[in-house]
A and B are shown apart, each in its own frame.
Chain A
């Protein structure tokens, strides 16, 4: 139940007085992470030194208003769609019981492994005018019959909602799982009907989790280029790419992107402001709560809803990928595929470990230091998620290449040594870039899990002499296991799916499955892209299944 912070402002608040205090080690760490993220962002803002007015004027006179409206529609539509699916399904599988619930609770997460661009090209292949579905309909019902146009706002919103709802589902389910029935009962004992109780008590109590997931979805939707370009749906992001690849004006692209950053920062601020006066604590830590038993048609309706979403978002596209793959497997499969797979896995795994470790430390710092500076630094460190990948990639690459050139020049002038670039084309840079991009994915799930560790526990532990790292390691870490596994899975899958940063920063020979998919889809070879897509999907499934095994009953 949300309660005003002042009730709990005990030990936690003591550290953040009004007087200036020298930052603690934790704050230095957060500062470092924030600085890393600020590096590419500052490249974007520095671009304003040479405003590309001619391009701005042109955009403003022609396409800008449509782009903004399109982007607005997309973001609102996808957020609502993903919220509806994510929260609804999470409530069903997290707090209720119905036939098949056990299976659905983890299978509904599987679409997480499906890259949005893959879902987009499969859906377009199936449901567009020339696809098999409409062709068959025309054969049965005559040439006049049409489905609603797939290449439209509705189509993109549908595809992206289906691809992104698992972010909300994953986090919201965690919340419902532990507080579901009890919260509802408490509400009912106060005279609320189940429906009212759900909206007035259960949902608000799950807000940090739902908001965290929605923020991820929103940022993904804003930054997406793959799916919108497959649908030829113009958004703000497509304008950024047009400025760069069409007008060859990186400054204009950077200036457009900087607006995106401001927008997302504003959204994060608003969200935090809304949450500010709330503190979320569980009266007692219970790993399991009793479930609400559904009866009669309700239970079958629940089964049907889950089956429908699972079928459309996962089974159908997977079968289509499988069908395409079988058609080309004999000519496409070579040993090289194993290399690609190995690279994808290794990158995903090492990035996940790195990012989650840092996210944990940052989240802990946010818990310890609730001052404004730490808060802003943390907000900054998660901004990378909202930027179109290619723009972020170039924002990372430019300063690093500059640093390399500086080092080489120094080595030459000081010691007369001809040095090779030290940073570029190393895995280190790649991991750094992933860190900047996916900090949010790791942080949001750990941070929301951390909200559940009551302040009483901290206080009790301190009484027993546990502080700092030891408190984190011995008390928080075990309690945060669910959140940590969630974060690991999210980051792992996200990195495996990631395309532009991988393309731009990978060392020679480090091609991944996502690189292969890019190469084939950009040539319009959808069917050949099915095999790497399917492999990517399958290898993303593994951690998801493990995750669900680890956290479920």
Chain B
């Protein structure tokens, strides 16, 4: 039995260590581009392994290579992202492509494993000859960014929000789609300031991952120098313990510095702890009402999030002509779950790409990997599925993309989100 116990203990330890992550603690500063005034001076082919390939004109087909978790727990979500993306490309191709160049998506399964993502990128670049890359997940982006940068293949609108890749000098060939925690925290504080002009007490539940720590750091910075007082923090490792700890602070506001899986868990935990803070702020990635708020019932009522996308499942957008057109085109082109938020995200990412490709094709150099990257670095575009008044803005001196949000609150009785105010735009802070 002693031998069995030792073997079992070792196996258990191996399982546990396999589940552990790392925390690099990088800071979120999307304004590292220096004083450079135009994209051409930020992104050049000078340091590329093969400068000619980076400037070669793309003809016939433009391939977008995706390394994504097509198997495992995220497969459904990512399947919807890709379905949305392919639907948007199909619409562009039906309209003649990008000056006649057809768009094609090439996928590789990384099972949410960064090492496989790294291998996939090598294969996508060398075997498939893709012109543009994309990926899903921070670890995946980190695993592939150096290789993709060396090869000078644009990696556009990664579904990640890692501060390091907003540094245009270090990673001129990489951009991210998801909002920066720094921007989101500033918008939340601005929105709270309108709600609490004299300030208030704040408690924060923090996920212990790199993402959670990044969000928490952003909130600490955003609250600094305001009338809001951070009176308590608790790790989200055990949501029930976090709820009890933060309830004891008596804070008026609870901020969830967590990831998607924390939203429902924290809501259930504070409900069961009998704590009803005046205001609960959930992260913007917790946007799916049906799975993250409705199951919690009354405990989720009044919780606030920031949104940048129109929600085709929300009756408030039923008459929006852009949403109607999206639903019609997405369904007609194979996206069988168009109201799913992941499908909308995939569509919008493809829409942003189509805009970048069009700008690149219209440039003096024509459509090439270099002109695509230069267009991405100066993009200012409001996708029709973005909430009115919000656009995706890039410049050689900032790489945040999304710099505005509209606040929403969850109505438990109606089981839907309702607008809680006008769009809060902080883009002027980064000009």
Partners in one complex: no
Query: B-side interface residues toward A, CB under 8 Å?
Result: none
